[in-house]
């Protein structure tokens, strides 16, 4: 009788260990998959950020000369809004 109780207790412990091992393995697989996906996303972003297309579309357009400015003589009645690179020409002409 005692032997039978000990065998059943050991079997229960083994089932619990197996269940915990299975859960840990599933967690590890999910963590590895998430890390792989994160690395893939980062590699894609790094490749895009260093591409000629990205530089042509975003980096060059964000330089100081490409945004619109209001004429500094707006208070005097000038309603011109032009690209910053064209402001010198506007000021020379007007």
* pTM (2 d.p.): 0.48
Report the alpha-carbon distance of residue 94 to residue 38 in Å, rounded. 55
φ/ψ of residue 69, rounded to 5: -130, 160
Q: Could you tell me which of 31, 2, 70 has the C-alpha nearest to residue 86?
A: 70
pLDDT digits (tens, 9 = 90+) for 53-94: 777 776 655 566 677 888 988 888 889 998 888 888 888 887
The whole-angstrom separation of Cα 80 and Cα 69 is: 9
Domain boundaries, the chain: 1-62, 64-94
CA atoms 81, 83, 88, 94: torsion sign: negative
Q: Tell me the chain's radius of gyration from C-alpha atoms.
A: 34
């Amino acid at each position: 009788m005692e032997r039978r109780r000990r065998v059943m207790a050991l079997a229960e412990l083994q089932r619990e260990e197996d269940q915990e091992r299975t859960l840990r393995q599933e967690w590890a697989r999910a963590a590895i998959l998430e890390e792989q996906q994160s690395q893939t996303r980062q590699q894609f972003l790094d490749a895009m950020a260093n591409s000629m297309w990205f530089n042509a579309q975003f980096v060059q357009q964000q330089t100081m000369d490409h945004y619109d400015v209001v004429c500094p003589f707006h208070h005097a009645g000038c309603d011109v809004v032009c690209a910053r690179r064209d402001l010198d020409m506007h000021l020379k002409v007007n």
